[in-house]
Every structure is written in C-alpha cells, then in structure tokens.
C-alpha cells in the first residue's frame, strides 16, 4: 500500500466516526426526548443497549473483513463509545424530565451527557447524583454495562484484530506458495 492509499484510509477512518458522532450528537441535542416516563426510560435503555450491541457486532465484522484491522478497530471504538454514552445520556435526561426529584439537580441535555461521562469515567464529582431508586438502578445498570463494554469490548476488538491479521498472513502465505 502506497502513502497516498494509506493517507486516504486514515482520513476515511477518521471522517466516518466524526460524521457519526456529529449526527448522533445533533440528534441528541435536537430531537424531542421529553415524552416518556421512568418505565419507558428502562425500555429505551434496553432497546438502545441492543442497538449498541448491534453496532458493536457490525463493527467487529468489519474488523474481521478489513485489510487494515487495527485502523478499523480504532474506527469501531470511535463509533461504539459515543453511541453508548449518548444513549445513556438520553435515558438520564428522560428520567429527569419524568421525575425531577430523580437527581440532585435538574438535568439539561448537557448535564445528562456530563453525568453519563462522569459515571463512565468513574470520576464522579458528586455535583449530580441519583436520588430515587429508579435513577439509582439506572446508574447501577450503567456501571455494570460500563464494565462489560470495557472488559468484553476491548477483548473482542483485540481478538478480532489479531484474528484478522493472522488470517491475512495465512492467505498471503498460501498465495505466495501457489506462485
């Protein structure tokens, strides 16, 4: 692969996730997410979780088929993580709208995103906290999902990159042997 092709691949691998994050972020900040109650928020979180699993599975399959699996892995993480975090943020926002007493302060969309990021990163500044049992259950669910996403997600991405590289090496050796 020459330098021009390599630069094009890198540019595409950066552009696709950036456009995805811009589209998801725009949807998060612009679409009306206020028409739900706490029970629907759990359904939203579970349905969104299934969507995140679907996106992650699709990205893993792209890594397995990629000529440059490491670059595809970076793209995968750059799409899956923001999708997950925005989904959790929407859920917190909907819960806070349905029951303003759920958190220690009212959650705007930005505050919900900030809270989901602080829970994900385990920083937990303490300025926003879950106050009701349903809100605490959601935060607990996010913490468990964080652990699963980080633990299994990293493992699957690394395994997919490794398998793809080995598979490509075997194919190249087989092709060299037939020549």
CATH code, domain with 161? 1.10.287.70
How many domains is the chain built from? Answer: 1
Q: Which structural domain range is residue 67 located in?
A: 3-178
Q: Residue 7: name the closest of 69, 75, 71 by CA.
A: 71
Judge whether residue 69 has pLDDT over 90: no
Question: What average pLDDT does this structure show over 15-30?
Answer: 89
What is the tens place of the pLDDT at every residue in 143-169? 998 998 888 878 877 888 888 878 777
What is the tens place of the pLDDT at every residue in 23-63? 989 988 998 766 656 666 677 777 878 888 888 888 888 88
Whether residue 70 contacts residue 23, with contact meaning beta carbons closer than 8 Å, is answered with no
The pLDDT, as a whole number, for residue 176 is: 62
Judge whether residue 138 has pLDDT over 80: yes
Burial class (CB in 10 A: 0-12, 13-18, 19+), 21: middle
Whether residue 103 contacts residue 135, with contact meaning beta carbons closer than 8 Å, is answered with yes
């Amino acid at each position: 692969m020459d330098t021009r092709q390599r630069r094009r691949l890198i540019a595409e691998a950066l552009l696709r996730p950036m456009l995805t994050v811009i589209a998801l972020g725009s949807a998060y900040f612009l679409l009306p997410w206020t028409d739900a109650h706490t029970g629907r928020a759990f359904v939203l979180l579970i349905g969104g979780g299934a969507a995140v699993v679907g996106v992650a599975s699709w990205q893993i399959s792209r890594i397995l088929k990629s000529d440059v699996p490491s670059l595809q892995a970076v793209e995968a993480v750059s799409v899956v993580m923001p999708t997950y975090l925005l989904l959790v943020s929407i859920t917190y926002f909907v819960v806070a709208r349905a029951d303003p007493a759920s958190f220690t302060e009212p959650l705007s969309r930005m505050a919900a995103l900030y809270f989901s990021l602080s829970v994900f990163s385990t920083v937990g500044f303490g300025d926003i906290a879950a106050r009701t049992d349903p809100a605490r259950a959601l935060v607990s669910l996010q913490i468990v999902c964080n652990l699963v996403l980080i633990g299994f997600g990293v493992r699957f991405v690394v395994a997919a990159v490794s398998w793809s590289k080995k598979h490509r090496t075997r194919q190249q050796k087989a092709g060299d042997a037939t020549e």
